[in-house]
Structure 1
Amino acid sequence: MTDSTTNDRVGTVETRGIEPVPDSERHGHAGQMFWTWFAANISILGLPLGASLVAFRGLNIWQAALVAVVGAFGSFALVGALSLAGKKGGAPALTLSRATFGQRGNVGPTVVTWLSRVGWETITTTTAAYALLALLGVAFGVDQNNFLTILCLLVFITCTLLISGLGHATIMWINKWATVAFGVLNLVVMGFLVATVDWTKVLDAPAGATSGVIAGIGFIAAGTGIGWANAGADYARYLPRSIPGGRLVTASAFGAGIPLVLLISLGSLLTAGDPTLATSSDPVSAINAMLPSWMAIPYLIAAFGGLLMSNHLSTYSAGLTMITLGLKVPRTWAVCIDIVVMFLGGIYFMLIAGDFYGPFTTFLTLLAVPISAWIGVIGVDMLRGRDYDPAGLMDTTRSSRYWYSGGFNLPAVFAWVAAIVCGLLFTTASTSADDVWFKGPLTNTWLGENGLGWAIAIAVGALLYAVLGRRASVTDVPSSPAPLEEAVR
C-alpha cells in the first residue's frame, strides 16, 4: 500500500503534520474545494450577518442581496487564489508563510491566525450548544441550566474532535456527503422561514445610503472570506500541482458563495420584517421562534450539523497553526489542545458574557485588519512567483533558507506591521455606541465611516512589500514549477 493511501485515508488518523506533501502523495480534484467551502458556510451564522445589514446598516433587501453576492463571492475567490500556494508548496498556509516573513518574522501572522481560528471556533461552539439546548428542551422538555450547558458544549466539542482529529481525508469525505444532507435540510427550514416574512414591510423598506452598501460589502467580506483566507492552503496542499489554478478559484467562490448568499439574504429578509433576529442574545432561539412548533427538531438538527461542518475545518487548521508556532506534538494532540481552549471560550460566552453579537462583530472587525495585512504581503509574494523549498520551510534554525536577517525577512515584516497600523487608523471596534473598544483617529473620514480599514491594510501591505521586497528572495528553488501566473492559466 502506498504512503498516500495510508497517511490520507478516510477513517484513519492522518499522521502528517505541517511538513510539505510530496508529489507522489498528491491526489484529489478541484471540486473538493467546492465542498470544503460549502461545508464551512452552511451554518446559521450567515443569518445574523444578513440581519446586521438591515438592522445596523440600513439596507433594504435588494441592497443586502447585492452586498451578499459581492462580499461572499469576491472574498472566497480571494481564498481560492491564496490556496494556490498550498497546491504549489504542499504545506499549510502559515507554514508556507515562513518563506515570506522568515522563520521568526512569521510568528506574528501565525499568532493572529490562531487567535482568529479560536475566536471563530468559540462563536460556532457557543451557537451549536444553544441549538442542542433548544433541541433537548423541545424533545424532552428539559430546562436550561449550567450543568446542561456545559454538557452540550462537551457533546459538540467531542463531535468536532472525532472529525478534525482523524484529519484531511475524513474531512474531505464528510464535507461532501454531510453537506448534501444538511444542505437539503437547511433548504427546507429556509422555505418555512420565508413563509414567516412580512412582505409588506420588506417591500416598503426604503433603500439605504450607498455608503451603507460599501460598508456592508466590507462587513460581509471581513466576516466570511477574509476570516478563511489564511486557511485555504491547508486544504489544497494534497492536490496535484497539475490542477489548473483557475478551477480552484472558481470552486472556492461558488462553494462558499451559494450558501452564503442564500443565508445572508434570508437573514436580511427576516430582519426587514422583524428586527428580533438582529437584537437577540441567542440567535438559535430567535430563529426557532419564527418556525412552526413541529419544525423545531428538523431546524435544530440542521443548525447543529451546519455548525459542526464549519467548526471541524477551523479546528483542523488551528491544530496545524499551533504546530507552525513551534508546538512539538503530533497533529492530533494539537487539535486536542485547541479543543480545550475552545471549550473554555464557550463557557465564557454562555455563562459569563451577557452579549453575543457585540463581541462577535468586534472580534471580526479587529482581527480582519492584521489578517488583511498578511493577505496583501502574501499576495504580492505569490504574484512574484514564489517557490517553496520543503527543507527550508521545516528548518527553523539559522541554517534555514528562510532565516534571512536574524530570522526576519525585514521588508515583509515591516510591510505587515505598517499595514496593520494604517488599517487600524480607519477602524472602529465597538459593541455599542457607548462601549467602544478601539477607535482609530481617521475613522471620521469616508474610508473610516464605511468600515474599510481592512481594505486599507491589504492595499498598504501589498504596496509596501512590492516596493521594499527583494525579488531575489522569491526564487529559492530554480527547479520548482512555474510561477503563479502560469498556474492560474
Structure 2
Amino acid sequence: MSDIAARQAEADAFGRVETHGIEAIPAAERHGAPRELAFLWAGAFVNYASLFTASLLTTYYGLGVWDGLAATAAGTIAAALILGLLSNTGPRSGQPQIVFTRRIFGYHGSYLGAALTLFLAVGWFAVDCVIAAQAGAQLFGGGSRWMTFALVLLIAAISVAVAVFGHQTIKVLETYGAVIFAALTAALFLFLAPQFHWTQGPSAAGPDYAGALVLGFMTCFALVASWYPFASDYSRYLPASSSTRSVTLWPVAGVAVPMILLGLFGLLLPTIDAGLASSQGVLAVISAHSPSWVAIPFFVFIVVGEIWANYLDVYTAGLVTLAMGIRLKRWQTALGCGVLG
C-alpha cells in the first residue's frame, strides 16, 4: 500500500474511527466522486420523515394529490439546488460547513451559527429517535410508554455508535440503507395502490387554496433547507478538482428523487382513510389497511431509516461542537452530542 493510500485508510475508512476533526482535509487524503453524494443524501431522505411531511399537504392543508405533488416537487427541488451549491464549499476548502462560514463571519462571529446548528442537529436527532421509537412500538401493537422509552435509548445508542466512526462508515451505511428501504417502500406502495384515490382534488378553495400551495411549497422547502448547515461536512473529502456542476447536481438528485416518490406515497395514504390519518397519523393507516407481512418489515425499516438520518445529525453536531472551541477529539464530541440529544 502506498503512503498516500495508507494515510487515507487511517483517516477515513469504513469501520474505523475517523481521525480528522474540523481541520481542512489534505489534498493527499481526498477521495471519492460527486455521484457518491447522491446516495448519501438519498439515505437522509429515504425515510418516514419525507413521507410524513408530504402527507400533511392532503391531510391538513387541503391540497389534492397532484397539486400537492407539484408543491412537494417545487419546494424540494428549489431547496435541493441550494444544498447542492453549498456542497461545493467542501471540495474547495476541505472544511466542514460551519468552519467555512468563518470566512464570512469571522472566528468568533461564527459561534452564533454554530450554536444554532448544534441546536438544529441535536433537535433533529431527538425527533428522529422518537419517530423511530413510535414506529417500533407499532410492531407491538402500540406498546407501553416504557417500551417506547427503551426503544428511544436503543435507537440513540446505535445512531451515536455509527456517528462516532465517522464519514466513510456513514457514507457506506447510508448508501445500502437507502436501497433497502426504497425496495420495501415500493412493495408496500404497490400493495396499497388499489386502495388509493388517485384523483382526489383539493378541499381548499379561493385564497385558502393559494395559501395551501404556498404552505405546501414552504414545508417541503424547509425540510430540505434544514440540512444546509450540514452540506460540506459530507463533501469535504472530495478532490478539489471535482466538477462544480456534478457536486451541485448529484445532491439535487439524491434529495429530489426519494422526496418526490415518497412524497407521492405520503400524499396518497390519507386518501385511503382521511379520518384515521388526521386523528392517528399515516402509520395508523398503514397498520389498518395492509397485512402484517407487508407492514411489519416496513415499520422495521422506518426505525432503521430514522437511524440513518441520525448518523448525519450526530456527526455534524460533533463537528459543530469542535468549531465552538471545545478541545476534544471528534469522536468524543459526537458521543457527547448523542448523550445530550
TM-score (norm. length: structure 1): 0.65
Q: Is the 8 A contact 1:10 1:169 kept in 2?
A: yes
Q: Is the 8 A contact 2:61 2:216 kept in 1?
A: yes
Q: Which residue of 2 aligns with 1:214?
A: 214
CA distance in 2, matches of 1:174, 1:93: 22
**Are 1:70 and 2:69 an aligned pair?**
no
Name stretches of at least 5 consecutive residues in structure 1 with no aligned partner.
Answer: 343-489
CA distance in 1, matches of 2:13, 2:333: 20
Q: Is the 8 A contact 1:60 1:272 kept in 2?
A: no
Deviation at 1:145, TM superposition (A): 2.5
Deviation at 1:294, TM superposition (A): 2.6
**DSSP-derived class of the 1:27 partner:** coil
CA distance in 1, matches of 2:201, 2:236: 49
Q: Is the 8 A contact 1:54 1:60 kept in 2?
A: yes
Residues 280 and 87 (structure 1 numbering): CA distance in 2 closer, same or farther, change over 3 Å? Answer: farther
1:29 to 33, 38, 43: 33
**Are 1:95 and 2:99 an aligned pair?**
yes
1:203 maps to amino acid: Q
Q: Which residue of 2 aligns with 1:428?
A: none
**DSSP-derived class of the 1:238 partner:** coil
Comparing 114-123 with 228-237, greater Cα deviation is found at: 114-123
Name stretches of at least 5 consecutive residues in structure 2 with no aligned partner.
Answer: none
1:38 maps to amino acid: A
Aligned ranges for residues 391-470 of structure 1 at < 5 Å? none
2:76 maps to amino acid: A
Aligned ranges for residues 469-484 of structure 1 at < 5 Å? none
CA distance in 1, matches of 2:128, 2:189: 20
Q: Provide Cα deviations, 1:169-207, integer angstroms capped at 9, x if missing partner.
A: 1111112222212221121122223333245xx435457
Residues 249 and 237 (structure 1 numbering): CA distance in 2 closer, same or farther, change over 3 Å? Answer: same
Comparing 87-96 with 298-307, greater Cα deviation is found at: 298-307
Q: Which residue of 2 aligns with 1:296?
A: 295
Residues 92 and 276 (structure 1 numbering): CA distance in 2 closer, same or farther, change over 3 Å? Answer: farther
Q: Provide Cα deviations, 1:441-489, integer angstroms capped at 9, x if missing partner.
A: xxxxxxxxxxxxxxxxxxxxxxxxxxxxxxxxxxxxxxxxxxxxxxxxx
Aligned ranges for residues 187-336 of structure 1 at < 5 Å? 187-199=186-198, 202-205=199-202, 208=205, 209-223=209-223, 225-276=224-275, 279-280=278-279, 284-336=283-335
**What is the percentage of aligned positions where both structures have the same residue?**
27
**Are 1:47 and 2:66 an aligned pair?**
no
CA distance in 1, matches of 2:272, 2:132: 25
Aligned ranges for residues 117-132 of structure 1 at < 5 Å? 117-132=121-136
CA distance in 1, matches of 2:52, 2:32: 34
Deviation at 1:314, TM superposition (A): 1.4
Comparing 123-132 with 43-52, greater Cα deviation is found at: 43-52
Deviation at 1:286, TM superposition (A): 4.4
CA distance in 2, matches of 1:204, 1:210: 14
Q: Is the 8 A contact 1:194 1:266 kept in 2?
A: no
Q: Is the 8 A contact 2:163 2:312 kept in 1?
A: yes
CA distance in 2, matches of 1:204, 1:34: 33
Q: Which portions of structure 1, spanning 4 or more consecutive aligned residues, are displaced by more than 6 angstroms?
A: none
Residues 195 and 165 (structure 1 numbering): CA distance in 2 closer, same or farther, change over 3 Å? Answer: farther
Residues 10 and 183 (structure 1 numbering): CA distance in 2 closer, same or farther, change over 3 Å? Answer: same
Q: Is the 8 A contact 2:75 2:220 kept in 1?
A: yes
**Are 1:110 and 2:109 an aligned pair?**
no
Deviation at 1:320, TM superposition (A): 0.7
CA distance in 1, matches of 2:66, 2:162: 38
- Higher helix proportion (structure 1 or 2): 2
Deviation at 1:42, TM superposition (A): 0.7
CA distance in 1, matches of 2:272, 2:284: 17
Larger CA Rg, structure 1 vs 2: 1
Residues 277 and 326 (structure 1 numbering): CA distance in 2 closer, same or farther, change over 3 Å? Answer: farther
Measured on the aligned residues, the alpha-carbon RMSD in Å equals 1.9
**Are 1:7 and 2:11 an aligned pair?**
yes
CA distance in 2, matches of 1:85, 1:189: 39
Q: Is the 8 A contact 1:60 1:205 kept in 2?
A: yes
Deviation at 1:144, TM superposition (A): 2.2
Q: Is the 8 A contact 1:165 1:332 kept in 2?
A: yes
Comparing 301-310 with 28-37, greater Cα deviation is found at: 301-310
CA distance in 2, matches of 1:284, 1:337: 32
Deviation at 1:234, TM superposition (A): 0.2
Q: Is the 8 A contact 2:39 2:174 kept in 1?
A: yes
Q: Which residue of 2 aligns with 1:383?
A: none
CA distance in 2, matches of 1:315, 1:12: 17
1:28 maps to amino acid: G
Residues 132 and 215 (structure 1 numbering): CA distance in 2 closer, same or farther, change over 3 Å? Answer: closer
Q: Is the 8 A contact 2:277 2:284 kept in 1?
A: no
Deviation at 1:230, TM superposition (A): 1.1
Q: Which residue of 2 aligns with 1:166?
A: 165
Deviation at 1:334, TM superposition (A): 1.0
2:219 maps to amino acid: F
CA distance in 1, matches of 2:54, 2:281: 16
